[in-house]
Structure 1
Amino acid sequence: MKPLVSILMPTRNRPLFFKKALDSALAQTYDNIEIIICDNSDNDETKQVVETYLSIYSFIRYEKNETDLKYIGNMNRCLSLAKGEFINYLFDDDLFAPTKIEMMMNYLLLHEDIQLVSSPFYFINEQDEVLGMNQSVFRSGENWLGSGKVMIDQMIGKISNFVGVPTTVLFRKSAMKQPFGKYHEFEFIFASDMALWLDLLSTGTCVYLDEPLSYYRFHQGQTTAEDEKSWGKVMPGFIEGVQLVVIVGRERLAQSKEHYVLMLANLLKHYEEKLLQLTSQHHNEVDIPNELGKLIHEAFDCIQNYDNQG
């Protein structure tokens, strides 16, 4: 029998989009899946949708949260219920292509050293019309297989999630070292998916398929994890970006000292751009978190770790 893949669906108050997402999971050509649904809704509309499926599909597990777990809490609850060794999140407003799991599992089963497989994704609107496709440095006309450190240099070095949103990535559960949203002593909201990719990519190899295999939806009611935090006059997510760079420095996850120094240079450039943008928006009244200077100082101190790299 093929290995079990757990499709994890955290959901909140999107019954119509959720049904489309669930149907795309059920349409997978890979024949050994379970679907875990953790419902964070404040009503029973999604529950009513799911009930029509439960008598037909024994591999669907539905759980209604008694309290609002928020984004990170619901992601981790889904994960805690998963029985599969391989995990793919599916957000309630996104879609899978029918062959997504099968094509990605073909690579994950090639070698135990492959920790994750990703691919490009299409942008769609509320009517499922394709608006375009995301751009990634790893899309080159053929499937890409390489060291996790190469992908880390691109993702953290350019402070851009080239790996993909959670819907796009199928990964090996055993490669996770910490819960979703946490890495080292840091807790992430804005960059929680990038923190997970960094965790997974710190050891082993990864694959980026050339074919788009998922759909990321834009719509009016769209909310994201960062919406749960009031950023005020603080640069959204920037401190989390610095925390990711610090982790790369501590663990020597960049390919070389030169790659790490370039990462720091890009970080400062990004900081300058965001600072100018924020000061313009708030008329020069910007809150700089006390820990930011300490983190940037540590990030530069980590350069010497690469001098001692053996």
Structure 2
Amino acid sequence: MSPPDYSKNLLYATLTVNSTTLFTYENYKLIHSITNLNCSEAISQELGLINASKTLIGSIPVSSNVKVTNTNLALYFMKKVITNGDGSNDLMTVVTIAHNSLSKTMILSVMKKIIDKYIEFRAKVDTIKGGQPSTGEFKPIMNKIIEQEERNYDLKPLVYNYGSIEPGGDRTSSNGNGIGNNNKTGNIGPGSGSDVIQPNNLLLANEEVEEVRQLMLDNINKLMSRGNRINSLVDQTDRLTTSSLVFQKKAQQIRQKMWLSKYKVMGILVSMVVFILYLIVGDLCGYPFFDRCVN
């Protein structure tokens, strides 16, 4: 039995919004054949750096010691800023892991279609339900996109390979992100249509770098502002604790003073009553020792 052809399929794909994973696609047959790779962990380790970078489209080697049919795996990503109805922005990131010899054009087409379809899906859900899409609703759509692109790649490989970086090819150049661009502008190849991502789409997408950078700076500022508010709350709590201890100590001192004042007044009243009784009895029985009454 011949080994599976890793060069025609994605191993793993995930859609995240603000670094939170929403939907995941796994090619279980291929993933289970790679015992020394955890795709989810590999993406989690790189996602923070990907979202913080200025690059909207790029690729990263997964690991130098992870090999599939003697070829390294690569991690590809595509980012896009989407605006919500309330005016806030979200950063959507699609990350895939695939065989290094898989057509880069096919991978880019998959990621772009996932982003476009999810934007349409979210807008439709917001219109119908007035809320965020629930987990799992978009996953069948995402799986269908990937499976359809892989079938198209099997049927029309030349459409995807034209103008892309392939081993031994010399018709392409790198854009600095590990993803090849056609040196010529226009369509990818004969018979290509809007279903396949075109090289000039990459140039248009990279114009959003400043927007992504601004979004990440805004998120950092929000985190810093939140940290300042937390520090302010901690300081206020400390001041309240100190004030309560001082108040408790003063309350005890006032209680002691009131106790002493109370007994002083009672002592004075008792003394006055005893003195008045002495005067009355002394007047009747004689002073100073009540001689008449005693005799």
User: 1 or 2 for the larger relative contact order (CA 8 Å, sep ≥6)?
Assistant: 1
> Is the pair's TM-score, using the shorter chain for normalization, greater than 0.5?
no
* Larger Rg over CA atoms: 2
TM-score tier by shorter-chain length is under 0.3
Query: TM-score by structure 2 length?
Result: 0.25
Query: TM-score by structure 1 length?
Result: 0.24
